A and B are shown apart, each in its own frame.
Chain A
Amino acid sequence: MAIEELTGRWDYFSLPSNILVGHDCYLERKDSFTRFRSSRSPGLILGNCVRVYTWTTFNVEPSGIVEVGDDSILVGAVFMCAERITIGKRVVISYHVTIADSDFHPIEAAARKLDAIANAPGGDLSKRPPLESRPVMIEDDVWIGIGAIILKGVHIGRGARISAGSVIARDVPAGARVAGNPAQIIHEAAN
């Protein structure tokens, strides 16, 4: 592997044409985009001055759209996107964070068995049961701590702080600090 592809010095114009990259972005590892398979146009929007580090991956289904606002820092954000994940401006996403807008498999056992067969090597992916997805929205100035997991349908309000290791399955109000699994509010917004 060329070292340039690990150190942000590769040609960002070699990305698929449905990926829009703003000015002064730093995209450290080219492989962050190898599981991007959105057929939407655009399927990924990175604002200006977005920094994307080694551990980040964009796993985007054909139907998915990911949008990241200006000046955000994605350290180790693992995006699992089937519909829409929106990240605001000046958001910090730390190491080992997963953000998913779908469970990616049915809850119901019999349907999940069909999904297992369709997903097996040599399986027919067109026979997958329909995915349930709900968009994830993370507002401006949110900080997401190390190892946090953000699940489908979650709205995180402006300036919220997600503590390390939190599992977020419900909305987080603006300015709140949450922690734990399942996450609890430990500080309300300062007025």
Chain B
Amino acid sequence: MTLPHSLPHDWYPAPLPSNVRIGEGSWLYSSFAFLHCRSTRQQAVRIGRSSGVYMGSFFDLGPNGEVQIGDFSTLVGVIICSDQKVIIGDYVFIAHEVVLADHFAAAPTSIESNSEDADSESSIKDAGIVIGENAWIGAGAIILSGARIGTGAIVGAATVVDFAVPDYAVVTGNPGRFMPRLATTVKESL
């Protein structure tokens, strides 16, 4: 883990917040991503190794907000609006215009502190949102508090998820529905 004060390629003049960690080989487009970041957690945002967080991504975190991103994950413009813990695993794809949020009508200022005194080593159990290893989140999907996206699962474009998606399952539509046949095909191919 490195602790850069600024990104060498950055066009936005603000320094990176001191509670942001970016792992070796990872790319973050700009410190502009922290325009609304008010997290006071010791590690507000932790990006692992060789992950890309591209233009249009924002960390609109409240005081208790905390985001962990694993290794080899690609986020091409996700908005994360949370005052809780958000965990994104390794080898995850998150497509354009995806929002991860605590509340269906989330806003940067309306983030209520609802994670009462969570200590710094809070577990996955306490997290608002968990996206498992190797999951794929389609364009425009909306992932709300309570979502648990399993390993290898696929969330279709514009799907709304606030529930558990089992490992390797495929969920699409609004309201979200599972596509069992495809899920079986994926499992059998492994």
Contact = CB atoms under 8 A, between A and B. Distances in A.
A75 B142 contact: no
Interface string A60-97: 00000000000001010000000000000000111110
Contacts, number: 77
Contact of B174 (A53, A75, A92, A180): A180
Interface in B58-109: 79, 81, 97, 99, 101, 104-109
A164 B109 CA distance: 18
Nearest to A177: B104
Interface of A, secondary structure class, is: loop
Interface of B: 12-14, 32, 35-36, 79, 81, 97, 99, 101, 104-110, 140, 142, 144, 158-160, 174-175
Interface string A119-158: 0000000000000000000000001111100000000000
Contacts of A7: 35
B105 A146 contact: yes
Contacts of A166: 174
The 10 A-B residue pairs with the shortest CB-CB distance in the complex, in nearest-first order: A145-B104, A143-B105, A165-B160, A165-B174, A164-B142, A94-B105, A164-B104, A75-B107, A146-B99, A145-B105
Given A75-B107, A165-B142, A146 B101 contact: yes
